[in-house]
């Protein structure tokens, strides 16, 4: 895409994420307090399940989480039942993961396999098929909304001053941070573009960026935002999450592989130490 086409696409994505079909709502408010922790456990299980599927990107789990949150935010009978029944709550997540595998990864997923292997016979095939239809109808078959990963790719594509090595590092680190953030219910309620922008800013704290270059990147991406008012509350939470997760395997994999990569080290050890000390 040309620069103009990229900017146009980003604007369309901003409009889409704020539309009634894709906007997230606080569906846990007023319901049982354990739902947030149950949701976090399911998200972690989703990442593990995707990791066990050869050739499937972790972005598939990100898409599944988006389906799950949007579904539970609807007023449908199936969604409201899932919010009060742990059995249906888990079934809804399993179903959203299956839909994401089909739509996002193009997998042909046999319902018997889901029931027997993924669910270990906890859910009969007919219940999975029924819930899949309920989710699709609740989402009105709108399954291609932008995710934080999509925004990260587009945001970093429009920044001309970033070299290839730095761009690859920022993409991988930012996406890893988003994946750690999404299971946290309070963070997941933010718009995908906001999570993407803040994750990129956090990632730049751990790479050797000139202060002027860092500022220019932030200013450029910020100028693409529809509304920056919510970012002030999100920055401290994401920075705190990054501090807590610097030694998580997912973050360590990104930093180690980039620091020891063939293109040379772009990871600033001093930056990592600084981030840790500012914890």
Percent of the chain past pLDDT 90, that is, above it, reads 39
Whether residues 273 and 152 fall in one domain: yes
Task: Flag whether pLDDT at 156 surpasses 80.
Answer: yes
Q: Averaged over 161-166, what is the pLDDT? A: 76
In a domain, 1, yes or no: no
Collapsed DSSP state (helix, strand, coil) of residue 178: helix
Whether residues 157 and 126 fall in one domain: no
At residue 267, the pLDDT reads 34
Strand runs labelled E in 57-189: none
Question: Residue 81 maps to which CATH number?
Answer: 1.10.472.10
In a domain, 143, yes or no: no
Q: Is the separation of the CB atoms in 72 and 83 below 8 Å?
A: yes
Q: How far apart are CA 25 and CA 23, in angstroms?
A: 7
- Count: domains in the chain: 2
Give whole-number Cα distances, 259 to 121, 152, 177, in Å.
Answer: 43, 21, 17
Dihedral-angle region of residue 264 (phi above 0 means left; psi in -120 to 50 means alpha; beta otherwise): left
Q: How confident is the model at residue 23 (pLDDT cuts 50, 70, 90)?
A: confident
pLDDT tens-place string over residues 40-71: 999 999 998 888 887 888 899 999 999 999 99
At residue 73, the pLDDT reads 94
Q: How confident is the model at residue 263 (pLDDT cuts 50, 70, 90)?
A: very low
Highest averaged pLDDT of the listed ranges 75-89, 111-125, 252-266: 75-89
Q: How far apart are CA 94 and CA 36, in angstroms?
A: 17
Q: Averaged over 113-134, what is the pLDDT? A: 83
At residue 167, the pLDDT reads 84
Give the tokens for residue 73: 């935010």
In a domain, 10, yes or no: no
At residue 274, the pLDDT reads 34
At residue 216, the pLDDT reads 77
Q: How far apart are CA 206 and CA 95, in angstroms?
A: 37
Q: Which of 120, 138, 156 marks a domain boundary?
A: 138
Q: Give the structural domain span for 266.
A: 148-277
In a domain, 11, yes or no: no
DSSP state of 205: T
The four Cα atoms 70, 71, 77, 78 give a dihedral, to 10 degrees, of -160
At residue 272, the pLDDT reads 30
Task: Flag whether pLDDT at 269 surpasses 70.
Answer: no
pLDDT tens-place string over residues 232-241: 566 677 667 6
Q: Averaged over 257-272, what is the pLDDT? A: 37
Give the tokens for residue 234: 């999100």
Task: Flag whether pLDDT at 276 surpasses 80.
Answer: no
Q: Averaged over 226-245, what is the pLDDT? A: 64
Whether residues 67 and 129 fall in one domain: yes
């Amino acid at each position: 895409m040309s620069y103009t086409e990229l900017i146009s696409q980003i604007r369309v994505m901003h409009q889409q994420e704020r539309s009634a079909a894709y906007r997230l709502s606080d569906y846990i408010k007023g319901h049982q307090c354990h739902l947030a922790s149950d949701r976090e456990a399911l998200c972690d299980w989703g990442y593990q399940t995707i990791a066990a599927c050869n050739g499937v990107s972790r972005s598939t789990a990100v898409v599944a989480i988006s389906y799950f949150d949007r579904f539970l935010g609807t007023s449908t009978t199936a969604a409201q039942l899932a919010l009060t029944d742990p059995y249906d709550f888990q079934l809804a997540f399993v179903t959203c993961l299956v839909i994401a595998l089909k739509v996002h990864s193009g997998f042909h997923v046999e319902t018997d396999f889901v029931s027997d292997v993924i669910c270990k016979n906890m859910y009969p095939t007919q219940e999975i098929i029924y819930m899949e239809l309920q989710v699709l109808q609740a989402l009105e078959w709108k399954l291609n909304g932008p995710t934080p990963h999509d925004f990260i790719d587009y945001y970093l594509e429009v920044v001309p001053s970033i070299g290839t090595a730095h761009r690859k590092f920022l993409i991988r680190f930012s996406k890893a941070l988003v994946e750690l953030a999404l299971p946290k219910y309070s963070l997941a309620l933010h718009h995908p573009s906001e999570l993407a922008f803040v994750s990129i800013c956090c990632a730049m704290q751990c790479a050797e960026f000139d202060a002027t270059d860092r500022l220019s990147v932030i200013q450029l991406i910020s100028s693409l935002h529809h509304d920056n008012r919510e970012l002030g509350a999100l920055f401290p939470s994401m920075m705190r999450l990054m501090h807590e997760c610097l030694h998580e395997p997912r973050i360590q994999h990104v930093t180690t592989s980039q620091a020891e990569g063939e293109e040379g080290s772009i990871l600033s050890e001093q930056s990592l130490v600084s981030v840790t000390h500012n914890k």
